[in-house]
Amino acid sequence: MVYLLIIVAILVVLFGVTSIRRSLITKPVFGIFKKILPPLSDTEREAMEAGDVWWDGELFKGKPDWQKLHAIPKAELSADEQAFMDNQVETLLTMLDDYKIVQEDRDLPKAVWDYIKREGFFAMIIPKAYGGREFSAIANSTIVSRIATRSLTAAVTIMVPNSLGPGELLMHYGTQEQKDRWLPTLANGTDVPCFALTGPEAGSDAGGIPDTGVVCKGQFEGKEVLGIRLNWDKRYITLAPVATVLGLAFKLYDPEKLLGDKEELGITCALIPTSHPGVQIGDRHFPMNMAFMNGTTYGKDVFIPLDWIIGGPSYAGRGWRMLVECLSAGRGISLPALATATGHLAARMTGAYGYVRQQFGMSIGKFEGVQEGLARIGGLTYTLEAMRVMTAGAIDLKLSPSVVTAIAKYHMTEMSRTLLNDAFDIHAGKAIQCGPMNYLAHGYMGVPISITVEGANILTRNLMIFGQGATRCHPYVLAELEAAANPNAEEGLAQFDKLLMAHIGFAVGNTFSALWQGLTAGAFNSAPVSGETARYYKQLSRMSRALALSADISMLMLGGDLKRKEMLSARLGDVLSQLYIASCVLKFFEDNGRQQADLPFVHYSVQRSLFEIGKAFDGFFANFPNRVVARTIRTLVFPFGIGYKMPSDAVAQQICEALSKPNTLRDRLTHLCYMGKDEDDATGLMENAFVAMYNAQPLLKKIAQAQKAGQLPRKQPLLDSINQALAASILTEQEADSLRKMNQLRFKAISVDSFKPGVLEGMSVGKRDAA
């Protein structure tokens, strides 16, 4: 007892007396902390500091406040936005023939270009004061998703001016003169923008762009003015071939110090008319057979006045911060919208096809192998829609949550890739034959583009999600970094002392809580709801605590090496990501009235996320360099092993059941899917065949019963069975006619495209261009 009291007294003195604590604990730790800090470049630091911490911060602190999640306003369209969806968007969809656009014309028709400009499709983010639509992020996302289910080319063409580009940058940083000059013409389509960032030597490492600008004096409009002499070479620039105004990112230098004391000013953004002398729009690219405009631009010794810098001369060198902040918002709208569109289309059409297509005398959707893939499509589509709505909703709260949008970009595009692979497996031959009847092919071709752009997925997962998340979302690390960087050593030490004590308390609390939750499997965690989803909140809280503990220990043990151990840190990023994904699903379920019919999709989505969390932790523990520490953390977090499993077959079959019959749940899940009204439209045809075949079930059962009774042969074409059933008075003339029409529709729906000799050869790019 005496020894215990002595130990307690020592601890009280060590931690309770400020001068002793700072001398014996804080100062040595402060020195170690400075040494193990991961080295940050200027661009990394600006990226780290840009954007906002949102729900990701709650998940990272180990004890998420679920009431805060439920209190986030539901993202919904305004009356004006819904009217635009019902009118302009629907009109545009009827004007699009995606096969002709992609395979024949390699461009949108002139009438479509004129319509999207005239009706403000390029002006969705521009304020009404400048002639724009001033739509919300959720409207922007919903419009792009809807269009993408009809034509990826049209969706990309529309989304780019409403994402990272001149319009976005002007609204946030432009001078009043720049806004007055450019926003009205961008809004009415007189000007078409592009933004040039990527070059031959700089992709993911945008901070390493070789394109330069030098501050100097030169001639402009007959006068000598202070300006910039530019040299650039850019590629992969969407809309470049048709752009009239070029947003350009470059490194700015001031060797004569005409603007101040610095010679290297940093990344800068300028806005340049493409008609300006020296601006060159180069060759066009052809990304994955898609027809949206994409190409190159370059310039040599191009002189522009200084006030063409976005934001004016005072924004010289501030371009990287501008780009990171705008990109973090745009990344949460455009590519997630495209990914969600693939889910809506694939879920509706694959469910229908699985019902219409028959093998061995029954619909292929009844085979469990097909059901496994179809369930994955349905479950991921529900997840995608939940993430799309919540992430766009964050942007409408005037936030720029950089970590959350990186999670959305990476995981949603990967889900899109997964579910399209499943859709192809189920459609089989119908999916691989390109032609007007193939509604999957162009989306499949476009997936690698989404994987690659706006931060390649490898970069996004391995560096951005946890690399930024660990610092930005942690309650103390960013503040500790700032204290360590304080040029006033004493002041920095005092700041660090307070933070260190709070951090130690945080870590100790996480350690004991993680062990308690591991021993009790989170059973005593609170949940904001009752019913079947309550257990998910408890498990997510448990895994949030496990993440906080594992991240702290990783940063303590590995320091700067954690940044280089990408495979290890990415697994912690996966845990954070899946916590966010599951949160989106639960929030979506609540916002939509806790409909019982949605529960199989909720179970599938959240159980999948928990399984992925377990897999990520398993890989993290197995590869952590210090094996003793790894076993200790694993024992604390999972004392009885990782018990999370993928959804059961029963849940998968419930999802398949919902997708394999006409019902309101199927309509809600796939509400953005375009279905043409023309009898030859591929999506409309498949949907009509599906409904007709479903409605014909009572008559098909008559035939089946007759076959079972020996009145009709079993294995023969359906048309023969219909005619024989009519002859045997098993069916009436009206019933037989109804089944013949259904059978004709069914056969047409499952048919694939074929071309007469010479037709495809006449469509080849080289021959057409030569002509």
> For the residues of 275-322, what is the DSSP string, one character each?
TSTT-EEEEEP-GGG--S-EEEEEEEEEEEEGGGBTT-GGGTT-HHHH
Question: Quick one: which of 20, 1, 497, 19 has its CA closest to 10?
Answer: 20
Catalytic-labelled residue, pool 58, 454, 612, 687: 454
What confidence score (pLDDT) does residue 200 get?
86
CA distance linking residue 229 with residue 252, whole number of Å: 9
Chain segment 618-663, per-residue pLDDT in tens: 999 999 999 999 999 999 999 999 999 999 999 999 999 999 999 9
- pLDDT category of residue 44 using cuts at 50, 70 and 90: low
CA distance linking residue 180 with residue 210, whole number of Å: 31
Whole-angstrom CA distances from 254 to 220, 226, 263 are 19, 11, 5
Chain segment 421-431, per-residue pLDDT in tens: 999 999 999 99
What confidence score (pLDDT) does residue 50 get?
62
What confidence score (pLDDT) does residue 465 get?
86
Higher pLDDT, 199 or 343: 343
What confidence score (pLDDT) does residue 552 get?
84
In the chain, what is the straight-line distance between the N-terminal and C-terminal CA atoms, in Å? 98
What confidence score (pLDDT) does residue 165 get?
78
**Which residues are within 8 A (CB) of 202 and not within 5 positions of it... i.e. 6 or more apart?**
208, 209, 210
Q: Which one-letter DSSP state was computed for residue 696?
A: T
Which has the minimum average pLDDT: 353-362, 522-531, 538-547?
Answer: 353-362
The three-point CA angle 73-77-78 to 5° equals 105
CA distance linking residue 516 with residue 457, whole number of Å: 36
- pLDDT category of residue 770 using cuts at 50, 70 and 90: very low
Q: Is the pLDDT of residue 475 over 90?
A: no
What confidence score (pLDDT) does residue 46 get?
59
Q: Is the pLDDT of residue 539 over 70?
A: yes
Report whether 456 contacts 563 (CB < 8 A): no
Residue range 195-215: mean pLDDT, rounded = 82
Q: How many CB atoms lie within 10 A of CB 196?
A: 28
Report whether 314 contacts 268 (CB < 8 A): no
Higher pLDDT, 498 or 350: 350
Whole-angstrom CA distances from 570 to 55, 280, 511 are 19, 40, 22
Chain segment 52-86, per-residue pLDDT in tens: 889 999 998 889 999 999 999 999 999 999 999 99
Q: Is the pLDDT of residue 419 over 60?
A: yes
What confidence score (pLDDT) does residue 8 get?
47
3-class SS of residue 226:
strand
- pLDDT category of residue 478 using cuts at 50, 70 and 90: low
What confidence score (pLDDT) does residue 281 get?
95
- pLDDT category of residue 481 using cuts at 50, 70 and 90: low
Higher pLDDT, 565 or 142: 142
Question: What is the C-alpha R_g of the chain?
Answer: 30
Higher pLDDT, 24 or 298: 298
What confidence score (pLDDT) does residue 769 get?
47
Q: How many CB atoms lie within 10 A of CB 360?
A: 8
- pLDDT category of residue 258 using cuts at 50, 70 and 90: very high
Residue range 385-407: mean pLDDT, rounded = 93
The domain limits of the chain are 29-68+472-654, 79-187, 193-330, 339-460, 696-750
Q: Is the pLDDT of residue 456 over 90?
A: no
The H or E element that residue 510 is part of is helix 489-520
Q: Is 612 a catalytic residue?
A: no
**Looking at this protein, which amino acid is placed at residue 569?**
S
CATH number of 79-187: 1.10.540.10
Entry pTM: 0.92
- pLDDT category of residue 570 using cuts at 50, 70 and 90: very high
What confidence score (pLDDT) does residue 11 get?
43
Residue range 2-18: mean pLDDT, rounded = 52
Whole-angstrom CA distances from 291 to 102, 104, 144, 265, 607 are 5, 10, 16, 38, 39
- pLDDT category of residue 400 using cuts at 50, 70 and 90: confident
Topology alike, domains 79-187 and 339-460: no
Question: Quick one: which of 492, 467, 335 has its CA closest to 409?
Answer: 335
Report whether 385 contacts 340 (CB < 8 A): yes
Whole-angstrom CA distances from 330 to 208, 319, 463 are 22, 16, 19
What confidence score (pLDDT) does residue 614 get?
97
Residue range 707-735: mean pLDDT, rounded = 91
**Which residues are within 8 A (CB) of 111 and not within 5 positions of it... i.e. 6 or more apart?**
95
Residue range 116-123: mean pLDDT, rounded = 96
- pLDDT category of residue 565 using cuts at 50, 70 and 90: confident
Class of domain 193-330: mainly beta
Residue range 31-46: mean pLDDT, rounded = 57
Residue range 278-306: mean pLDDT, rounded = 95
What confidence score (pLDDT) does residue 180 get?
96
Whole-angstrom CA distances from 338 to 342, 375, 417 are 7, 21, 11
Per CATH, the homologous superfamily of domain 339-460 is: Butyryl-CoA Dehydrogenase, subunit A, domain 3 (1.20.140.10)
Percent of the chain with pLDDT over 70: 89
- pLDDT category of residue 489 using cuts at 50, 70 and 90: low
Residue range 505-513: mean pLDDT, rounded = 83
Higher pLDDT, 192 or 558: 192
What confidence score (pLDDT) does residue 646 get?
97
Question: Quick one: which of 340, 439, 443, 329 has its CA closest to 383?
Answer: 340
**Which residues are within 8 A (CB) of 124 and not within 5 positions of it... i.e. 6 or more apart?**
132, 133, 135, 139, 140, 143, 162
Residue-wise DSSP of 334-393: HHHHHHHHHHHHHHHHHHHHHHH-EETTEEGGGSHHHHHHHHHHHHHHHHHHHHHHHHHH
What confidence score (pLDDT) does residue 326 get?
73
What confidence score (pLDDT) does residue 485 get?
65
Q: How many CA atoms lie within 13 A of 540 on its CB side?
A: 31
Residue range 731-745: mean pLDDT, rounded = 94
Q: Tell me the pLDDT of the chain averaged across its residues.
A: 89
**Looking at this protein, which amino acid is placed at residue 300?**
K
Which residue has tokens 């730790």? 29
Question: Quick one: which of 51, 82, 757 has its CA closest to 469?
Answer: 51
Q: At what angle do helices 152-159 and 441-452 cross, to 10 degrees?
A: 30
